[in-house]
Amino acid sequence: MGLLTILKKMKQKERELRLLMLGLDNAGKTTILKKFNGEDIDTISPTLGFNIKTLEHRGFKLNIWDVGGQKSLRSYWRNYFESTDGLIWVVDSADRQRMQDCQRELQNLLVEERLAGATLLIFANKQDLPGALSSNAIREGTGDSVIEDGVVLHSLGDSRSASRLSRG
């Protein structure tokens, strides 16, 4: 339902979207993107810059920018904000120690003027791992005010599972 929400907001004649996929390092952004594109996910290494994939989905052309989430790269995120239609924020549900860092980075993004018109989709990834936070805990961790403003929170048990991924 998440990606569908973004697509429904578009006028029918506008059939192309620019989506920016962000999150802390090791959240699973590249795995999600590659799995969604039907690519092999067995040999993924940390993204040190960015990946761009263009996908066709339900008649829409999706240009997805997957940007590395290492602390040293986060200051460069702003270089990708221009013309962004949707922001996909990926949360590692099993990384409890960095949940506050995750929340802070998301809040910083939400005040960016160039992202003001973008729809936000939050992927709660890796919920199949031991000790992972529930989607309700993720909701509380990202701030109820964010979720109440029409943000889609999608629980993603395992980004390696194509069936669960396609529901986002």
Q: Alpha-carbon distance 67 to 22, whole Å?
A: 6
Report the pLDDT value the prediction gives residue 117, as an integer from 0 to 100.
85
* Residue 69 marked as a ligand binder: yes
* Residue 79 marked as a ligand binder: no
Q: Are 153 and 122 in contact (CB under 8 A)?
A: yes
* Residue 95 marked as a ligand binder: no
Report the pLDDT value the prediction gives residue 10, as an integer from 0 to 100.
56
Hey, how many other C-beta atoms are within 10 angstroms of the C-beta on 32? 24
* Residue 28 marked as a ligand binder: yes
32-38 long-range contacts (CB < 8 A, ≥24 apart) are 32/90, 32/123, 32/125, 32/156, 32/159, 32/165, 33/64, 33/66, 35/159, 35/160, 35/162, 35/165, 36/165, 36/166
CA dihedral sign, ordered 2, 32, 124, 16: negative
Could you tell me the pTM of the whole model?
A: 0.81
* Residue 26 marked as a ligand binder: yes
* Residue 24 marked as a ligand binder: yes
Contacts of 128 (CB under 8 A, 6+ apart): 157, 158
Look at residue 18 and give its three-state secondary structure: strand
Q: Are 79 and 113 in contact (CB under 8 A)?
A: no
- Set 70, 100, 103, 107: catalytic member: 70
Q: What is the pLDDT of residues 83-115, one digit of tens each?
A: 999 999 999 999 999 999 999 999 999 899 999
Strand (E) or helix (H) holding 145? helix 144-148
Q: Which CATH number fits domain 2-166: 3.30.70.260, 3.40.50.150, 3.40.50.300, 3.30.230.70?
A: 3.40.50.300
**Active-site annotation holds for 107:** no
What residue ranges do the domains of the chain occupy?
A: 2-166
Report the pLDDT value the prediction gives residue 2, as an integer from 0 to 100.
60
> Considering only CA atoms, which of 9, 35, 38 is closest in space to residue 21?
35
Q: Are 19 and 6 in contact (CB under 8 A)?
A: yes
Look at residue 41 and give its three-state secondary structure: coil
Report the pLDDT value the prediction gives residue 152, as an integer from 0 to 100.
52
Give pLDDT < 50 ranges for the chain.
13, 144-150, 162-168
Report the pLDDT value the prediction gives residue 4, as an integer from 0 to 100.
63
* Residue 47 marked as a ligand binder: yes
> Considering only CA atoms, which of 43, 41, 37 is closest in space to residue 19?
37
